[in-house]
Structure 1
Amino acid sequence: MTTKKEILKYAFIQTLPVLFGYVFMGIAFGILLEEAGYNFVWALFISLTVYSGSMQFVLIGLLGGGMGIISMIILTLSVQCRHIFYGLSFIEKFKAMGKRGWYMVFSLTDETYSLLCGMKIPEELNKKKVFFAVAVLDQSYWVLGCTIGGILGSFIGFDTTGIDFAMTALFVVIFIEQWYSFPSHIPAIIGICCGTAALIIFGANAFILPALIASVCLLLLLKNTIVKQDDCQEACE
């Protein structure tokens, strides 16, 4: 019988890369929001209710721009539409989590999704509870960073040039961890190739959705091959 402490400890270790990325990015958001005229209370509220790094940074510009509700909804969908693909692969798992499943849907960010896909949870731990702990910890890091940034921004002036690279570094760390954790490198190679091709064809502002669609299609086509590679590697070990 595993304890909550063991589950929390495992989830915390798994989310350490997210901790550093989210806290620094959250601080950047809080500082920028403070510079836009909104104190740390707003940073806390937005990070609790919106909880979307890319959309929160876009929101800073929208707050004083007078954009209409319809336009804002369309913009939000265009920025966050990739999450549709994330949710599809976890529908059944989240349903099985009962009321906690609703929070899992809300909290499924890029980084949380990467962790949930890449973790090899020990058999003695409750998988549903580990998933929930990871999601809660990830949002806690983000809320903490945003709040700290809002507080610091009200007292100290910051040059935030380059701080957004923390998110790029976070994805690199997660990618490397998954590369070494899984026997088959086909999913990673597909992601690199589709992302690069979409970036060249569609440009930096519109490549995410085409890259995701292409990646999902190729993964579905090569699903059996990937599974066979994993099974063969596990048998050899």
Structure 2
Amino acid sequence: MQELRYAFRQTIPVLCGYLFLGLAFGLLMQQAGYGWPWAVLTSVIVYAGSMQFVLVGMLGGGFASLLSVALTTLSVNSRHLFYGLSFLETFRKMGKARPYMIFSLTDETYSLLCNLHPPKALNADRVRLYIALLDHLYWVAGSAAGAVLGSVLPFDLTGIDFAMTALFVVIFVEQWCAAKNHLPALAGAVFALLWLVILGPDRFLLPALVCTVLALLLGRGMLPAQSEEVDAP
């Protein structure tokens, strides 16, 4: 229970963001003609954030082909290939929880796990599992609430997607304040801005991630070794 309480405190920012974004997804599913069971089922078995919003359009307009769906999913979620690289050894040591940890590694969960320093008295693997599970539950709960509310109340969805941007800003600021070396964050920001100017907002993410990873690999000698887990205050 100590691990669960600690994990819950770490996930409070994600709770606030996921409830609103899940709510938006549920509302969109309801407007597309799919009730709350479909919204919940999609959030349980797909759980792909932005890809779920794309999926609403696919469901409404009809699937062109399975190949187009697969390619769209790959292009939207290709960043997760890079996320998983940094947790290969960590997840391998988690035994039976490994498949779920791979499945549930969303942007926000990844950010929390990267900045995780649980007290030594806690089981770190259990904390990671609870963080992933809680984030998943938040998303499912928001999706269900949105679909149910959308069936009985009219909603204006203008601007609700800004909750994700606000959530990323909060997580980024927390990690910036906690980190002693800001070179990785600066490298990511520089390449993101560069490719954003070159390719625009719809295509910049993948090349920015590739360039950031290559830059960090080439300059890894300038980065300090990762510190061991420390006691939380």
TM-score, length basis structure 1: 0.93
For residue 95 of structure 2, give the secondary structure of its aligned residue in structure 1. Answer: coil
The percent of aligned pairs where both chains have the same amino acid is 53
Give per-residue Cα distances to partners, 1:61-99, cap 9 Å, x unaligned.
101323211111111111111101111111111111111
Mapping of residues 33-112 of structure 1, within 5 Å: 33-66=29-62, 67-112=64-109
Mapping of residues 185-204 of structure 1, within 5 Å: 185-204=182-201
| Root-mean-square deviation over aligned CA pairs | 1.3
Work out the CA distance in 2 between the residues paired with 1:185 and 1:138. Answer: 27
Q: 1:159 aligns with which of 135, 153, 156?
A: 156
Work out the CA distance in 1 between the residues paired with 2:197 and 2:90. Answer: 35
TM-score, length basis structure 2: 0.94
Establish whether residue 15 from structure 1 lines up as the match of residue 15 from structure 2.
no
Give per-residue Cα distances to partners, 1:98-144, cap 9 Å, x unaligned.
11000000000011111111112222211111110100000010000
Deviation at 1:55, TM superposition (A): 0.6
Letter in 2 for 1:73: A
Matched residues, number: 227
Letter in 1 for 2:141: L
Give per-residue Cα distances to partners, 1:21-73, cap 9 Å, x unaligned.
00000000000110010011111000000001111000001013232111111
Work out the CA distance in 1 between the residues paired with 2:12 and 2:175. Answer: 15
Deviation at 1:221, TM superposition (A): 2.0
Deviation at 1:204, TM superposition (A): 0.7
Structure 2 partner of 1:132: 129
Letter in 2 for 1:38: Y
Structure 1 unaligned residues grouped into runs of 5+:
none
Work out the CA distance in 2 between the residues paired with 1:210 and 1:62. Answer: 25
Letter in 2 for 1:6: Q
Establish whether residue 180 from structure 1 lines up as the match of residue 205 from structure 2.
no
Structure 2 partner of 1:224: 221
Deviation at 1:222, TM superposition (A): 2.3
Mapping of residues 107-122 of structure 1, within 5 Å: 107-122=104-119
Structure 1 partner of 2:140: 143
Deviation at 1:146, TM superposition (A): 0.3
Letter in 1 for 2:56: I
Letter in 1 for 2:74: L
Work out the CA distance in 1 between the residues paired with 2:6 and 2:219. Answer: 32
Letter in 2 for 1:111: E
Work out the CA distance in 2 between the residues paired with 1:54 and 1:70. Answer: 19
Q: Which of structure 1's runs of 4+ aligned residues deviate more than 3 A?
A: none
Work out the CA distance in 1 between the residues paired with 2:152 and 2:209. Answer: 41
For residue 16 of structure 1, give the secondary structure of its aligned residue in structure 2. Answer: helix
Work out the CA distance in 1 between the residues paired with 2:60 and 2:34. Answer: 11
Letter in 1 for 2:114: C
For residue 152 of structure 2, give the secondary structure of its aligned residue in structure 1. Answer: coil
Work out the CA distance in 1 between the residues paired with 2:210 and 2:28. Answer: 33
Work out the CA distance in 2 between the residues paired with 1:191 and 1:123. Answer: 31
Structure 2 partner of 1:29: 25
